[in-house]
Amino acid sequence: MTYRNELPSPPQRFPWYGIRTRPKQERIAANMLANKGYEHYLPVLRSKRRWSDRVVEKELPLFPGYVFCRFDVKKRLPIITTPAVVSVVGFGNQPAPIDDSEIEAIQVVLRSGLAAEQCPFLREGQRIRVNRGSLEGLEGILLKKKNEWRMVVSVTMLQRSVSVEIDREWITTI
């Protein structure tokens, strides 16, 4: 009789993937994935809506149209055949994993109890438009200098530019 001195291997943790859902069906997709036995995450924000006669507090998806799910990418058919699921986020037909630290950071922010809100994903060098303040309507290029966001406005013919500090909440991407 032989005895094995091996410990059972821990269950494999698959990477997180972004799942694009049908419009306003994030909860349905999350529940269906849970019923199929998949670990999922649907980050939500509490939002207060004021009506003329009352105030209603609702939980709204932090990323409308998306749910996160852990799964083996080689066995994704049960995921993509889920009725509320549109696709797995990736490049072409190849799903792209999301780093655990990014999901953990979102979880920490939402658990903190601090006021969190959606904001546009800003990338340095991106074209932006100012929506509020004295610069409303201006367009330029986003620049980050030290710890501040700046908008660069250029005169192409002169090959000269000027940058101005802007409030991140006043801009949208073009």
pLDDT of residue 30: 97
Tens-place pLDDT, residues 126-138: 899 989 888 888 8
CA distance 76 to 153: 46
Phi and psi based region of residue 110 (left: phi greater than 0; alpha: psi -120 to 50; beta: remaining): alpha
Residue 2: pLDDT above 50?
A: no
SS3 (DSSP) at 77: helix
The full set of domain ranges for the chain reads 16-111, 127-173
Nearest to 29 by CA among 61, 75, 73, 72: 61
Residue 83: pLDDT above 70?
A: yes
pLDDT of residue 8: 52
* Mean predicted confidence (pLDDT) in 76-94: 94
Class of domain 16-111 (CATH, top level):
alpha beta
Percent of the chain with pLDDT over 70: 90
Confidence of residue 10 (pLDDT cuts 50, 70, 90): low
